[in-house]
Amino acid sequence: MFLFRLLFVCCATLATLTSPTLAQRVDRAGAEALFRAGREAAEKADYETACRRFEESHRLDPAVGTLFNLADCEEHLGEIASAWQRFREVAQRLDPADERASIARQRAEALEPRLPRLTIRLAESAPARTVVLRDDVELGRGSFGVALPLDPGPHVVVVKAAGFADQRFEVALAEGANTEIIVAPGDPLPAAPSPAPTEPTTALPPPRLAPEPGPTLAIESGSSTRLFGYVVGGVGVAGVLTSFITGGLALSKKSTMEDNCNAQHQCNAEGLEAVDAGSTLANVSTAAFAVGAVALTVGTILVLTSDESGREVALGAAANRNGGNLELRGAF
């Protein structure tokens, strides 16, 4: 008894899961409105619009009546194979006693002699894994050699195989015509050239460059060394004085900035001009002081180390890969 109940529950669950109402949600109101719109278009002989309306209505709520009207619409558009298949489906789904079933069967039988049929055969030379597409629909091996019904008009067959070029066949089918074609892929594709072997290369370190000698200013006598020291020292003094002067100007600009800017650093036009000028003067003051200090130091050393004994003092520069050197050389 338990096994019987379990089997009953499993069957009921399976039936529920495979129910069309769960596989696709229906919209009966929308389907009805589309069906009426399709009928209005068909009465005006606008069969392209009518077919679109009937097809969408059937998708939202599959119904035999909608399918019958869709088949009639497709027949008016010359889509004979599609209409023939739908009339046959209507006749199979309706009760034999239903008058519409008899009408659908008669319409299908009337269309059958007008059906174009296309037989596709695969050439014996075709590779085993050849793929055949008819109007972008892939055909299996069971489709080859069978006269399959199609709508009248142009059709395209494409044959593909690995290592071969694609081959395209265009076929125009007329009503009632039986056409047969033998297909195969195109010519073999040329083999891709194998890349030439490359020998491993070892990157050589960049050559080390010896420092290049630069210009040298030599002062041989003690008096000349002292004179050169005075010149360099004078440059240093000028740099320091310039630093003090620009520093004082920067301080005056600071006073102007304080008078024309509030605590939130919001300034008027005069204050903004003072901020810009003060920043520039401060930078000049710092740079001038650094240059002056170095020059004053070098000048002092030259003066203090000079005498009349003919010592040689040379100031030279040398360039290398990492920058350069500034040298002060003396012979004692």
CATH code at 154? 2.60.40
pLDDT at site 179: 96
Copy the structure tokens of residue 33: 């409105």
- Spatial neighbors of 322 by CB under 8 A, at least 6 apart, are none
Verify that 94 and 124 share a domain, yes or no: no
What does residue 189 show for φ and ψ, rounded to 5 degrees?
A: -80, 145
> What local confidence, expressed as pLDDT, does residue 172 receive?
96
- Pair 90, 165 in one domain: no
Report the distance separating Cα 262 and Cα 278, nearest Å.
17
Note the helical H segments in 204-268: 222-260
Does any domain span residue 248? yes
Mean pLDDT per 10-residue interval, the chain, length 332 residues: 40 42 71 95 95 95 95 95 95 92 94 96 92 95 94 96 94 95 93 72 59 47 66 75 78 74 69 73 78 74 62 48 48 47
pTM (2 d.p.)? 0.49
Whether 106 and 169 map to the same domain: the answer is no
Q: Which of 113, 146, 172 is the last residue of a domain?
A: 113
The count of domains in the chain is 3
pLDDT (0 to 100) of residue 271? 66
Return d(Cα 295, Cα 231) in angstroms, integer. Answer: 9
266 inside domain: yes
Tell me which residue range forms the domain holding 78. Answer: 24-113
Statement to judge: residues 146 and 51 lie in one domain: no
Q: Look at residue 13 and tell me if it is in a domain.
A: no
Q: How far apart are CA 233 and CA 148, in angstroms?
A: 108
75 and 95 share one domain: yes
- Judge whether 167 lies within some domain: yes
**Contact (Cβ atoms closer than 8 angstroms) between residue 173 and residue 116:** yes
